[in-house]
């Protein structure tokens, strides 16, 4: 009886296992491609909706001036509107959605425009079905193929589409995002008791080097207010105007202190239900003391010639101070290295070597802040100059370093 029960149990288990494996194999042959993903995606590179103005620098000139000014392109100075907007969006009747894209500042073509697209996207490549934007959207007929080329594989008509032109300052040390066109087709979301789809929108941009969170306080952001938009509305912006556009973002500065080349552009799109809520939202973002102070400085530099001249003088004075500090450190390095080599006592030798190392660090810090760097020292070479070895080793290290500086 017991054997019969055991046979029944094991037989049933084997039967179930066989059925289970059969079902698994059947399921493996029934995988279906997942639906498109919804979200906000970003492209940075060539312009799509307009032809770049001929009075601007050529692509090659822009690339060279950008790289010369930015050292390797990392952008690190400015006020973090992006982080403030993320925080305040959670406190008000404002919807927000975020996207990002990596790019290389040393690409052959300097980025001319940024496209921000909200909708449904394929993950495996362009959609087979053709789609087109409604008439009057101010985008060319081949917009789909152009977006496909930039890696934005829309599965259908986008819900929001924006293009902004990246404009460099005359000295190539700062950039602004000048809006070109914004198309609003549908909102991020709606509320049951307030079904209206009219939204007042803004875009926040941050460009950061690797390993940097764009919501940190020391990262910049450019803000572009798009105003109130209704579904199916296109907002166009005039480009051929003197100096600057009143709709472009404040300047963000290009820093020469970072040496990383890969960058990430992060974009936050916010939509408020009515103008009053939008004003409260933007007021909360811009009323931060740090933001207000930076904005006041930027406005002064851009609109008041005397302030702009004073800012330029401050920058030139700072450059002169750094060069003077660098030039003062160099003979100090050589003097102490020579003292290290000629010292008879180990204590005197070590003291001279430590003084030389401190002067190397002072030289490096000053050199790093100048426009035209000599790059005579780096953190690696300074750390590699060890002063804790035995006297013979230390004397040789001082002598070798002194020979390098001849």
**Tokens, residue 208:** 């950061």
Which distant-in-sequence residues (6+ apart) come within 8 Å of 114 by Cβ? Answer: 42, 43, 44, 163, 164, 166, 177, 205, 265, 267
- Side-by-side strand order, sheet with 94-104: 94-104, 262-272, 199-208, 222-229
Q: Tell me which of 311, 333, 366 is where a domain ends.
A: 311
Q: Is there a single domain that holds both residue 264 and residue 238?
A: yes
Q: Is there a single domain that holds both residue 265 and residue 382?
A: no
- Does residue 13 sit within a domain? no
Q: Is there a single domain that holds both residue 136 and residue 271?
A: yes
Q: Tell me which of 277, 311, 345 is where a domain ends.
A: 311
Q: Tell me which of 282, 311, 340 is where a domain ends.
A: 311
Q: Is there a single domain that holds both residue 195 and residue 222?
A: yes
Q: Is there a single domain that holds both residue 49 and residue 124?
A: yes
Q: For position 251, what pLDDT does the model report?
A: 72
Q: Is there a single domain that holds both residue 211 and residue 329?
A: no
- Does residue 385 sit within a domain? yes
* Nearest-angstrom CA–CA distance, 215 and 268: 11
Query: How many residues are present in the chain?
Result: 406
Q: Is there a single domain that holds both residue 360 and residue 305?
A: no
Q: Is there a single domain that holds both residue 281 and residue 351?
A: no
Q: For position 147, what pLDDT does the model report?
A: 92
Per DSSP, 215 falls in state T
Q: For position 119, what pLDDT does the model report?
A: 93
Q: Is there a single domain that holds both residue 162 and residue 269?
A: yes
Largest pairwise CA distance in the chain:
105
* Nearest-angstrom CA–CA distance, 202 and 282: 9
Q: For position 250, what pLDDT does the model report?
A: 72
Q: For position 173, what pLDDT does the model report?
A: 63
Question: How many domains does the chain fold into?
Answer: 2
Per DSSP, 381 falls in state H
Q: Is there a single domain that holds both residue 109 and residue 224?
A: yes
**Tokens, residue 394:** 């230390």
- Does residue 22 sit within a domain? no
The secondary structure of 309-349 as a DSSP string is: HHHHHHHHHHHHHHHHHHHHHHHHHHHHHHHHHH-SSHHHH
pTM comes to 0.59
Residue 380: domain span:
324-404
- Does residue 53 sit within a domain? yes
Residue pointed to by tokens 């039967």:
15
- Does residue 47 sit within a domain? yes
- Each residue's pLDDT expressed in tens, for the chain with a length of 406 residues: 444 444 444 344 444 444 445 454 445 556 677 788 999 999 988 888 865 544 444 444 544 444 444 333 334 445 567 777 777 776 667 888 999 898 775 434 556 789 999 999 998 888 887 888 876 778 888 888 899 999 999 999 999 999 998 877 766 666 788 899 999 999 999 877 678 889 989 888 887 777 777 775 556 677 888 888 999 888 988 777 666 777 787 777 655 443 345 778 889 899 988 777 777 777 777 666 666 555 555 544 544 455 455 556 777 778 888 888 889 989 998 999 899 889 888 888 989 989 988 988 888 888 888 878 888 888 888 888 888 878 888 888 888 888 888 6
Q: Which of 111, 390, 91 lies closest to 264, judged by CA?
A: 111
Residue 210 in contact with residue 260, Cβ under 8 Å? yes
- Does residue 17 sit within a domain? no
Q: Which of 367, 379, 340 lies closest to 356, judged by CA?
A: 340
- Does residue 395 sit within a domain? yes
Q: Is there a single domain that holds both residue 254 and residue 384?
A: no
* Nearest-angstrom CA–CA distance, 287 and 269: 19
């Amino acid at each position: 009886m017991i054997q019969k029960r055991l046979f029944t149990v094991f037989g049933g288990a084997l039967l179930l296992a066989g059925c289970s494996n059969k079902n698994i194999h059947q399921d493996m042959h029934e995988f279906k491609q997942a639906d498109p993903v919804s979200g906000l995606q970003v492209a940075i590179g060539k312009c799509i909706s307009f032809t770049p103005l001929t009075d601007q620098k050529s692509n090659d000139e822009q690339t060279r001036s950008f790289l010369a000014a930015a050292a390797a392109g990392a952008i690190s100075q400015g006020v973090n509107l992006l982080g403030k907007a993320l925080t305040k969006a959670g406190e008000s009747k404002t919807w927000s959605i975020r996207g990002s894209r990596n790019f290389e500042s040393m690409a052959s073509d300097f980025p001319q425009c940024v496209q921000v697209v909200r909708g449904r996207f394929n993950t495996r490549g362009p959609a087979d079905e053709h789609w087109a934007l409604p008439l009057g959207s101010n985008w060319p007929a081949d917009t789909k193929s152009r977006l496909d080329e930039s890696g934005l594989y829309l599965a259908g008509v986008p819900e929001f589409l924006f293009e902004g032109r990246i404009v460099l300052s005359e000295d190539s040390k700062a950039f602004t995002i000048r809006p070109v066109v914004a198309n609003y087709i549908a909102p991020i979301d709606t509320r049951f008791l307030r079904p209206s789809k009219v939204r007042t929108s803004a875009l926040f941009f941050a460009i950061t080097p690797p390993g940097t969170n764009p919501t940190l306080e020391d990262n910049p952001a450019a803000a572009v207010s798009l105003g109130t938009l209704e579904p199916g509305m296109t907002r166009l912006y005039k480009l051929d105007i003197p100096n600057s556009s009143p709709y472009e973002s404040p300047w963000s500065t290009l820093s020469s202190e970072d040496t990383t080349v890969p960058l990430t552009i992060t974009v936050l799109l916010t939509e408020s239900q009515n103008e009053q809520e939008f004003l409260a939202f933007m007021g909360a973002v811009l009323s931060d003391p740090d933001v207000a102070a930076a904005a006041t400085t930027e406005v002064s530099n851009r609109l008041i010639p005397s302030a702009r001249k004073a800012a330029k003088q401050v920058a030139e004075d700072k450059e002169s101070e750094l060069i003077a500090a660098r030039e003062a450190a160099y003979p100090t390095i050589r003097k102490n290295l020579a003292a290290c080599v000629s010292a008879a006592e180990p204590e005197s030798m070590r003291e001279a070597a430590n003084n030389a190392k401190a002067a190397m660090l002072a030289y490096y810090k000053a050199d790093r802040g100048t426009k035209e760097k000599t790059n005579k020292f780096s953190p690696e070479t300074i750390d590699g100059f060890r002063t804790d070895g035995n006297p013979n080793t230390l004397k040789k290290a001082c002598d070798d370093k002194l020979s390098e500086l001849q």
